[in-house]
Amino acid sequence: MASTGADGAGPRHVAIIMDGNGRWAQKRGRPRLFGHHAGARRVREIVEACPGLGVKYLTIFAFSTENWKRTQTEVAGLMSLFRRYIMKEMQDFVRENVRVRFIGDRPRLDAKLRALMDEAEAMTAHCTGTNLTIALNYGGRDEVARATKRLARDVAQGRLDPEAVDEETLPRYLDTRVLPDPDLVIRTSGEARISNFLLWQSAYAEYEFIDTLWPDFSPEIFAGLLAQYGARDRRFGAVSA
Ligand code: FPP
């Protein structure tokens, strides 16, 4: 269900495709991982800005099911960054009342990272502030396929009547089942693609594609995009009042 922020004008759920870390690093003559580290620091600032901006749900695309095609060095570096990030940030997230969740296909991730993800979710399960969802080994088509498999199992085992399946059924099997749909999807770095992110959930989302590279994204830029969103007329297929 789409929604609006606390004042009724801003988006309640913002999803971000954090693109451009590699180019940001290359522009400085540094390895791509340098850009990913700078990008991780930006994540913290943007999470901290959410309560003041009325954003209750923030979902970020950290690693896609397609990102395994990158070099072994980059993939290993990213996995190590995720492990260190979770270890380092978790106490702060608890203190700041941030509830952390992960979406994506977990079995392919290494055991140590999966254990840290479970721990982060458990440690912040009581938090009632910003809902931060990190998409890790996530792909929208993969998510729909995994959801369909679970749904089919329920039908086969007599727990679900196929005639009762409607638009409300599949979302209950998606990784995002406890989250509202995103109201606004932002992609940085000038690419106008959604790259398999939240395919089902973004059916009625507004999109913002901006040129800024993710490590240059700031709370000020974020606030500007939220203000623009407030000026839009979302009709969900109906006509304006
Ligand atoms: C896309 O930039 C970015 C990624 C594939 C990784 C996203 C990861 C982070 C922002 C850092 C850490 C996040 C967390 C949650 C700790 P790109 O490498 O495709 O950039 P390019 O298009 O310029 O090459």
The per-residue pLDDT for 241 is 59
Q: What values do phi and psi take at 24, rounded to 5? A: -60, -45
**Is the pLDDT assigned to residue 177 strictly greater than 90?**
yes
> Is 22 near ligand 1, meaning CB less than 6 Å away?
yes
Report how far residue 165's alpha carbon sits from residue 231's, in angstroms, rounded to the nearest whole number: 36
Residue 62 CA to ligand 1 center (angstroms) comes to: 6
222's enclosing H/E stretch is helix 219-230
**Is the pLDDT assigned to residue 1 strictly greater than 50?**
no
Task: Tell me if residue 211 is catalytic.
Answer: no
> Is 16 near ligand 1, meaning CB less than 6 Å away?
no
Report how far residue 115's alpha carbon sits from residue 121's, in angstroms, rounded to the nearest whole number: 10
Question: Which tokens in the block code for residue 187?
Answer: 């992609």
State the closest ligand 1 atom to the C-alpha of 64, by its place in the atom list counted from 1.
5
For ligand 1, atom 15, the nearest C-alpha belongs to 62
Residue 153 CA to ligand 1 center (angstroms) comes to: 35
For ligand 1, atom 16, the nearest C-alpha belongs to 40
**Is the pLDDT assigned to residue 4 strictly greater than 50?**
no
207-218: pLDDT as tens digits: 999 999 999 999
The per-residue pLDDT for 8 is 54
For ligand 1, atom 5, the nearest C-alpha belongs to 63
**Is the pLDDT assigned to residue 7 strictly greater than 70?**
no
Domains of the chain: 13-139+180-230 (3.40.1180.10)
Number of C-beta neighbours around residue 88 at 10 A:
11
**Is the pLDDT assigned to residue 64 strictly greater than 90?**
yes
The predicted model gives 73-87 an average pLDDT of: 98
The per-residue pLDDT for 230 is 82
The per-residue pLDDT for 136 is 98
Residue 51 CA to ligand 1 center (angstroms) comes to: 24
For ligand 1, atom 14, the nearest C-alpha belongs to 40
The per-residue pLDDT for 180 is 98
The per-residue pLDDT for 93 is 97
**16, 17, 19, 132: which to mutate for ligand 1, most atoms within 8 A of CB?**
19
Of 46, 49, 50, 23, the residue nearest 36 (C-alpha): 23
CA dist 60 to 18, 47, 183, 198, 214, Å? 7, 10, 14, 10, 12
> Is 173 near ligand 1, meaning CB less than 6 Å away?
no
The per-residue pLDDT for 237 is 74
DSSP 76-141: HHHHHHHHHHHHHHHHHHHHTTPEEEEES--TTS-HHHHHHHHHHHHHTTT--S-EEEEEEEE-HH
Strand partners, 16: 60, 186
Is-contact 185 7, C-beta < 8 A? no
State the closest ligand 1 atom to the C-alpha of 42, by its place in the atom list counted from 1.
10
Task: Tell me if residue 19 is catalytic.
Answer: yes
200-209: pLDDT as tens digits: 999 999 999 9
